[in-house]
Amino acid sequence: MNPELPRIPLGDWVKVALDWFRVTFEWLLDFFSMIFKGSVEGLVDLLMAVPYPALILVFAFIGWLVRSWKLAIGTVLGFLLIVSMGLWHHAMQTLSLVLIATFVSVVIAVPLGILAARNDRFSAFIKPVLDFMQTMPAFVWLVPAVLFFSIGFAPGVFATIIFAMPPGVRFTELGIRGVDSETVEAGYAFGATPGQILRGIQLPLAMPTIMAGINQVIMLSLSMVVLAGIVGANGLGKDVVTAVSTAKVGLGVEAGLAIVVIAIFLDRVTAALGNPNEHPNSLLAKRRKQIKAK
């Protein structure tokens, strides 16, 4: 008979720690809750204040500017499909949540990635933390999110940031470490400071890799949309949750298609920003050629 090991009440310890944090830093959590909720709702109001035909044309122009006219046409057709399904408002709520969560994630991830690339000890410390954040089931992050921020946009943004941030840190570190050492040494030989090397050499050369990381952050943020709907965040995720709970197949398919349209648009735009030379037919590339010709 195998001896039984004593049970370690790890879950109870975590609960006590989270309760202590919530009570002790209630003022800080209220501040972040106000910021998250206010920023998402403010962006939704801004997007909804613009007539949808004009906003679709703006999205199409962005696609044409950074990639090609084909993306512009696809953008128009995709967003018109969302309008025709009656999901425009919910789509803008989802887009706002993703953009705010991505912005906060990038603001945190890029400096951490730079620090990890320049400090081996910090890199060794943060890697297991990122592994923990990324491999922990996404549903688990909803527990502290609801505990800290109740329901609504705030817990959705918080859980999305925690789940989506790791690729931004990893790709930033990878991009900076991948810069040719001889190029960096040449910069030092000309008397450049470490800050000048970072701004003038490492970040520009690492930008395609960093943008690939931002692309992954956006995709993971969109994958959290449905889970954000579980904790009360309005948008397409809430429609999917409603469809599942009420067995409304049509609503689920329509909300899923709307999420796919937004995902494809954001993916193509960020990929093009990371590799502008791969899209010579974009308005941005043509403008660069005109400037060089002059």
What does the H/E/C string look like for 189-246? HCCCCHHHHHHHHHHHHHHHHHHHHHHHHHHHHHHCHHHHHHCCCCCHHHHHHHHHHH
Nearest C-alpha neighbor of 104 from the set 43, 59, 151: 43
pLDDT band at 80 (very low <50, low <70, confident <90, very high): very high
Per-residue pLDDT reduced to its tens digit, 147-164: 888 878 888 888 888 888
- Residue-level pLDDT at 280: 60
Residue 196 makes CB contacts below 8 A (sequence gap 6+) with 187
Residue 134, pLDDT > 90, answer: no
Taking the alpha carbons at both ends of the chain, their separation in whole angstroms is: 85
pLDDT band at 56 (very low <50, low <70, confident <90, very high): very high
Nearest C-alpha neighbor of 213 from the set 117, 294, 142, 285: 117
Average pLDDT over residues 195-206: 82
Residue 98, pLDDT > 70, answer: yes
- Under DSSP, is residue 248 helix (H, G, I), strand (E, B) or coil? coil
Distance CA 10, CA 24 (A): 21
Residue 1, pLDDT > 60, answer: no
Percent of the chain with pLDDT over 90: 20
Distance CA 155, CA 35 (A): 12
Comparing 77 with 202, the larger pLDDT belongs to 77
Give the predicted TM-score (pTM) of the model.
0.86
Residue 210 makes CB contacts below 8 A (sequence gap 6+) with 110, 113, 171, 172, 175, 203, 274
pLDDT band at 28 (very low <50, low <70, confident <90, very high): confident
Nearest C-alpha neighbor of 203 from the set 110, 273, 121, 270: 110
Report the 10 Å Cβ neighbour count for 89: 16
Domain boundaries, the chain: 38-293
- Residue-level pLDDT at 247: 80
Average pLDDT over residues 15-23: 85
> In which residue are the tokens 């992954």 written?
216
Residue 294, pLDDT > 70, answer: no
- Under DSSP, is residue 221 helix (H, G, I), strand (E, B) or coil? helix
Average pLDDT over residues 85-113: 91
Mean pLDDT of the residues in the chain? 84
The answer to whether the beta carbons of residues 202 and 184 sit under 8 Å apart is yes
Average pLDDT over residues 116-143: 87
The CATH fold assigned to 38-293 is: MetI-like fold (1.10.3720)
The most confident of the ranges 19-23, 29-33, 72-76 is 72-76
**Type of residue at 223:** S
Q: At what angle do helices 236-246 and 249-274 cross, to 10 degrees?
A: 150
